[in-house]
Chains A and B, each alone.
Chain A
Amino acid sequence: MSDINENKQGTPEKENNNPQNRPGENKSGMSRRKMVKALAGLPVLGLFGHQLLKKRDYDLGKREAIMRELRLDEIKFPASDYGSGNNPGGDLLRVGIIGYGVRGNQLANSLGFMHPNDVKTRQERGTLDEWLGQEYLNVALTGISDVFDLHTENGMAVARNEIRPGGENAPKLPVKRYRHYHEMLEDPDIDAVIIATPDHHHGQMTIDAANAGKHIYCEKSVANTEEEVNALYSAVKSSGVVYQLGHQITQNVIYQQARELINRDMLGKVTLVQTASNRNTAHGAWVRHMNSNGNPKPGCANTIDWKQWLGPAPEVPFSQYRYYNWTLFFDYATGLIGQLFTHEYDAMNQILNLGIPKTVTSSGGIYFWKDGRDMADMLHIVFEYPNRELTLLYSGNLSSSRPRGRVIMGHDGSMEIGNTITINADRNSTKYQQAISAGIIDPRSPMVSFNPSSGQVDAVTSASERYYAERGLTTTTINGRRVDVNHLHLREWIKCIRDGGRPSVNIDVAFDEGMACVMAQKAYVEKRVVTWDEVNRKIV
C-alpha cells in the first residue's frame, strides 16, 4: 500500500511552494509540461469522436444501401392532421350510446368522457393529462341506453362528468336515460349512435338507426346472419347516414405503411396470408360471469331487462351466465369469428383489399373449455381467393397463448405485422438474389422495420434496435404523440359526418366483412365448403 499512497490534498506544494517566481511557468503558475499532461484526455476524446463519426457513416451507408435497393428512399407516407390544433368546427354532434358495458365505457373514454372514479385513478397514476390532451371532438354524450340499471347509471355519471378534453368551454348538455333503444332513436335531440351491445342486436339496431336517420358507429361484428347483413346494407345505403364499423386496430398508422410497402411490390407475389388468435385464460375464452375475487358479477332479473336483452334471440329464462358470457352461444354471437377473426380480416382487408372470398372451409371443435359452450375453442378457417391467387388462413386457439404472428407471405419476402412491421427477404427470392449475395440484405434478420414511434422506415442495422422494434406498443404515435386508436376511429367517423367523405370501415367494407364472417360461421356449423355466388350476390 505504501507506494500507492495518495496525497489527500493532491497539491504540489512540496515542489511548487513559490508559484509566482519559478522559471518555465505560465501566468497561471503552471508549467507547460503540466499543462500538456492535464490535457491528456483530449486526444482520447478526439479518437472517440473520430471513431463515432466513422461508425455513424458506416451505419448510415448500410441503411442507405438497403433503402436504395428497396427504393424506400422515395417513399412518402401520408401525413396526419391529428393534433394540428384546429378547432373541429361545425355543429355540436349529440351522441347516444346503446349498450354501456365495458366496451361502451372504453368508447366513451375515447370520445372524451370519463367516470369521476376513473379520472381519479388516472390522476393517481399520472396518466390523466395524456387523456385530457386528446383532441376535442366537439361532441356531447347526451344519451345512454342499457338494459342493466347499473350500466346505465355508470354511463350517466360518465356523460355528466365535466372533467374532459375541451375543458370548460365544452358544452354541458343534459344527459337522458332511455329505457329502450327505440326511444333514443326517436329522439330528435340525438344525431348519432354508438352501438356496443352483444352481437345479436347489431343487425336490427343498425337497421333501425339508419331508418331513424342516425349516424352509426357499430362495434364488430357486423351482424350474425346473411339476411341481417343484406338488410342493414340496404338500410344504411338508402338512408345516407355515415356508418363506421368498430375496427380501431387499422387506425394504427402502421397499416397505412404496410399497404404502401406492399403496393411497392416489396414482397413479390403474395399467395398466403396467415392470421391467428392465441389466448389461454378464462377471461380470454369469454368466461366472464365472475369478478376477479371469485364472486358472481352483479345483475339479476330485477335489474336487467331480460326481454329487451334477448331481443331477436330465442326466448330462454333469465340467465346471469348467458348475460355475461353471451359470446359462448351461437344464439348471440359467432364465437371466435365475430370476436377476433373480424379484426384479423379487417387488418388484412385494409392492406390487401381482399373482399369476399370465393370459398370458405372450416374445422375445429371444443377441445379445452368443456363448459357447455357452442363456440369452438379451436378453430381453423381457410378462405380462398382464386381470382387473386391467394389464401387467407385463420387459426384461433383458446388453450395456448404462444404467439403466432400475422404474416403476409410473398415470393420475395414476408411481412409480419403487430404493433410494428418487420419485413424479411426470402432466402430464395428472385428479386433480392443479387442483394443477398452481395451481402446488402441478410434474409435471416429483418431487412426493414417500421416502428410507429419513430415515424419512419428503418433499414434495421443493429440488434438492439431490432429488439425494440419487435416490442409491442399499445397505442399509435402520430406527430410524436401517443394516441388512442379508438379515439382516432371515432374521430374519423365524426369527421365524415361533419365534412362528408367515407370512413375507413364504411358500409361497403362492412358488407364484405359481414359476408366473409357469415360464410365462415356457416362453414363451421354446417361442416361444408361454403361458396359466394358473385352473380346473385349470395352465399351458396
Chain B
Amino acid sequence: MNEYNYTKPQLTALLLLRFFTGWHILYEGIAKAMNPQWTSFGFLQESQWVLAGFSGWVTSNPSVLAVVDFMNVWGLIAIGLGLIVGLFFKVAAVAGFILVLMYWMNSPALVGVEYSMPVEGHNLIVNKTLIQAGALLTLALFSTSKIFGLDALIGNFKRKGEVAE
C-alpha cells in the first residue's frame, strides 16, 4: 500500500497508461517542432461540427494561426514531458484532456461528417482521439506523480517549508 492506497497492479497499470499517453503526446509535439513545414492549417481547414467557425477564423488570420501553431506544438511537448516525468502532473493531464478533446471536437467521427483526409481505422463517434481524452481524464483523477514523479519532490520541499514556519 502507498499514499494513494493503490494496489501494486493498479499502480503499475496507471503508470503504464501515464507513460504511453505521455510518450505519444510528447512525440506528436516533437515531430511537429522538427518539421518546419508543419502547420495546423490543413487540420483546421477540415474542421467540422461546433468548432468549424472558430477554426475558420484561425485559418483566415495568418498571425492567429502562427500563435495557435506555436501553442499547440509547445503545449503538446510540455504536456508530454509533464506526464512522463510527473511534474505538475494534474495540470498537464487536465490540459491534455482539454487539448485532445478539442482535437476530437474539430473532427468528431459523427455520422454524416466526412473528411477528405484519410482516417486511421473505423470509427463511429468514438475514435482513438476520444479514447485518449478519456485516458487523460482518468490519469488526472488517479494521480501517480506524488510517488513516481517530480511532484513528490515539490510536495516534499513545500512541506519542508511549512514545517519550518
Chain A interface residues (CB < 8 Å from chain B): 3-7, 10-12, 19-20, 28-30, 34-35, 37-42, 44-45, 48, 52, 56, 125-127, 129-130, 451, 453-454, 465, 467-469, 471, 482
Contact = CB atoms under 8 A, between A and B. Distances in A.
Interface string B1-21: 001111100100001000100
A38 B89 CA distance: 12
Contact of A28 (B23, B36, B84, B156): B156
Contacts of B23: 44, 48
Nearest to A454: B37
A45 B148 CA distance: 13
Given A6-B142, A52-B27, A127-B62, A451 B37 contact: yes
Contact of B157 (A28, A40, A125, A471): A28
A125 B42 contact: no
Given A4-B5, A28-B160, A467-B42, A42 B85 contact: yes
Contacts of B35: 465
Contacts of B86: 38, 40-41
B7 A3 contact: yes
A325 B143 CA distance: 69
B15 A40 contact: yes
B38 A29 contact: no
A482 B25 CA distance: 31
B84 to A, nearest CB: 5
Given A37-B152, A40-B15, A45-B85, A10 B60 contact: no
A10 B4 CA distance: 7
B6 A4 contact: yes
- Please provide the 10 A-B residue pairs with the shortest distance between their CB atoms, ordered closest to farther: A41-B85, A38-B152, A40-B148, A126-B61, A41-B84, A10-B146, A454-B37, A30-B156, A6-B4, A5-B5
Contact of A38 (B10, B84, B150): B150
Contacts of A56: 34
Nearest to B154: A38
B36 A454 contact: yes
A41 B38 CA distance: 28
Interface string B138-164: 000111001111111101110110010
Given A4-B4, A12-B3, A40-B86, 9 more contacts: A3-B7, A11-B3, A19-B160, A30-B152, A41-B22, A52-B27, A126-B62, A465-B35, A469-B37
Contact of A4 (B10, B36, B147): B10
Given A10-B143, A42-B85, A453 B159 contact: no
A37 B152 CA distance: 9
8 contacts: A10-B146, A19-B159, A37-B147, A38-B147, A454-B36, A467-B42, A468-B39, A482-B62
A7 B5 CA distance: 7
A36 to B, nearest CB: 10
Given A28-B153, A465-B37, A37 B5 contact: no
Contact of A471 (B10, B42, B142): B42
B84 A48 contact: yes
Nearest to A458: B37
Contact of A468 (B7, B42, B143, B155): B42
B125 to A, nearest CB: 25
A45 B10 contact: no
Contacts of A453: 37
A73 B78 CA distance: 35
Contacts of A454: 36-37
Contacts of A28: 153, 156-157, 160
Contacts of B155: 10-11
A129 B66 CA distance: 14
B64 A6 contact: no
A126 B60 CA distance: 8
Contacts of A29: 156, 159-160, 163
Contacts of A7: 3-5
A239 B142 CA distance: 83
Nearest to B1: A3
Nearest to B20: A44
B153 to A, nearest CB: 5
B3 to A, nearest CB: 5
A100 to B, nearest CB: 27
A45 B63 contact: no
B30 interface: yes
A28 B163 CA distance: 11
A67 B146 CA distance: 49
B79 interface: no
Contacts of B26: 48
B136 interface: no
A30 B158 CA distance: 12
B109 interface: no
Most chain B CB atoms below 10 A, which of A41, A130, A468: A41
Contacts of B151: 38
Contact of A126 (B6, B63, B85, B159): B63
B81 interface: yes
A506 B141 CA distance: 70
A129 B61 CA distance: 11
A28 B160 CA distance: 7
A130 B62 contact: yes
Contacts of A38: 86, 147-153
Contacts of A4: 4-7, 10, 142
A467 B117 contact: yes
A129 B63 CA distance: 10
A44 B19 contact: yes
A512 B29 CA distance: 51
A210 to B, nearest CB: 41
Contacts of B148: 37-38, 40-41
Contacts of A127: 61-62
Interface string B56-93: 00001111100000000000000001001110000000
